[in-house]
């Protein structure tokens, strides 16, 4: 092997290892289990500026004062996102949590196609309480990075959509000060998620 080829191979191995570590980081439910693990301002989360389904500019400060449950996805998602939003909306009903107890937030990872109008129709189908956010590609990249989430466009010519977006499928529970508490996988039983949310929010009844 030439020296330059060796260097290329070594850097490819380093990139693969870093990607595997990043995947493990986002793919284990509840992995970030303690709010203390996030510093003030947040190791997970942090500042963002996005646009909601009514065209208003929204920052992280607008979510303060109430805990929030943040999910990343896109409106053309064939199954993961509809299942997640359904599970979250049902779990909140079962737990008796209103939008004053917990704000469900949906952040698009497909800013090119998800306009505020598209988001409004999609999120409204699951719950009128969902705050659905989109933005410029740069704004979305920044918020995805801030939450240590994952989103990657994948070509899908056979789907009729041209491309899909591979994305992490966890909901991030943030406290009323915007600090990270833990993740949930909202893909299963709404009753189970309801119980977990109540426990995490310290609701006893």
Residues lying near Ni ion in the complex (CB under 5 A) are found at 73, 77, 80-81
d(CA 148, CA 150): 7
C-beta closer to Ni ion: residue 73 or 190: 73
Scanning 70-127, the segments in alpha helix (DSSP H) are 80-95, 116-126
Using Cβ positions, the residue closest to Ni ion within the complex turns out to be: 77
C-beta closer to Ni ion: residue 38 or 71: 71
C-beta closer to Ni ion: residue 74 or 179: 74
C-beta closer to Ni ion: residue 41 or 137: 137
Distance of closest approach, residue 131 Cβ to Ni ion, in angstroms: 17
C-alpha Rg value of the chain to the nearest Å: 18
Distance of closest approach, residue 37 Cβ to Ni ion, in angstroms: 26
Distance of closest approach, residue 25 Cβ to Ni ion, in angstroms: 19
CA distances from 81 to 73, 78, 99, 108, 113 (A): 6, 7, 20, 10, 15
Longest dimension (CA), the chain: 68
Q: Are 67 and 101 spatial neighbours (Cβ–Cβ below 8 Å)?
A: yes
Distance of closest approach, residue 126 Cβ to Ni ion, in angstroms: 13
């Amino acid at each position: 092997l030439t020296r330059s080829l060796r260097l290329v191979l070594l850097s490819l191995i380093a990139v693969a290892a870093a990607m595997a570590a990043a995947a493990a980081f986002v793919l284990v439910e509840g992995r970030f289990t303690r709010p203390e693990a996030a510093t003030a301002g947040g190791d997970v989360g942090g500042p963002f500026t996005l646009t909601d389904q009514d065209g208003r500019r929204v920052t992280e400060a607008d979510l303060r004062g109430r805990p929030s449950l943040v999910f990343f996805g896109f409106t053309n998602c064939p199954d993961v996102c509809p299942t997640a939003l359904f599970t979250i909306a049902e779990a909140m009903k079962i737990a008796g949590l209103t939008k004053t107890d917990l704000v469900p937030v949906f952040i698009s990872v497909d800013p090119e196609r998800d306009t505020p109008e598209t988001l409004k129709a999609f999120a409204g189908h699951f719950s009128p309480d969902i705050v659905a956010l989109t933005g410029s590609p740069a704004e979305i990249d920044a918020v995805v990075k801030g939450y240590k989430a994952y989103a990657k466009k994948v070509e899908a010519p056979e789907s009729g959509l041209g491309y899909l977006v591979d994305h992490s499928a966890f909901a991030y529970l943030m406290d009323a000060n915007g600090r990270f508490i833990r993740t949930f996988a909202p893909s299963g039983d709404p009753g189970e998620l309801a119980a977990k949310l109540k426990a995490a929010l310290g609701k006893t009844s």
